[in-house]
Amino acid sequence: MIINTIKKNYFDGEFVSYQITYVDSNVEKSVPLDEANTDYQLIKQWISEGNTVIDNGE
């Protein structure tokens, strides 16, 4: 699946996870902030490739 967007999720004002949406898919992932999580590793790679995470704040 091809990543469409990644945005930061906040809960009670705290940044707690990333939300990934995919192109042409109704599947989404919510990814915890854990270096051992391979989805999290992919997000870091996606960011390092110059992509931008949506941050709408709380």
Partner 1 sequence: MAIDKITTAAITDGTITSSDLASGAIENQSAFKNIIINGDMNQAQRGTSFTSNGYTLDRFTMDESTDGAVTVTQDTDVPAGYGFGKSLKVDCTTADASIGAAQYCGFTQFIEGQNLQYLKYGTSSAESLTLSFWVRSTKTGTYCVRFVKEAGGETRYECPIEYTISSSDTWEKKTITLSPTAGSTSLITATAGAIVNSNASGFRVFWTLAAGTDWHGTNNTWTSTSDRLSTSNQVNFLDNTSNNFYITGVQLEAGTSASDFEFLPVDVNLQRCQRYYFQHTSGSGKTVGLACFYGVSSVDTVMYFPVEMRSTPSIVATSGTGYYTVYVAGNGRTIDGSLSVNRVNTQSSQVYAAPAADTMGRAGLWTTTNSSASIAFNSEL
Residues of the shown chain interacting with partner 1 in the complex, contacts defined by CB under 8 A? 1, 9, 11, 16-17, 19, 26-32, 34, 36-40
Q: How far apart are CA 31 and CA 15, in angstroms?
A: 11
**Based on CB atoms, which residue is closest to partner 1, 11 or 56?**
11
- Least separation in angstroms between CB 13 and partner 1: 12
Number of C-beta neighbours around residue 24 at 10 A: 7
Smallest gap from Cβ 36 to partner 1, in A, equals 4
Closest contact distance (angstroms) between CB of 14 and partner 1 is 9
Could you tell me if 1 and 22 are in contact, meaning their C-beta atoms sit under 8 angstroms apart? yes
Nearest to 39 by CA among 21, 14, 57: 21
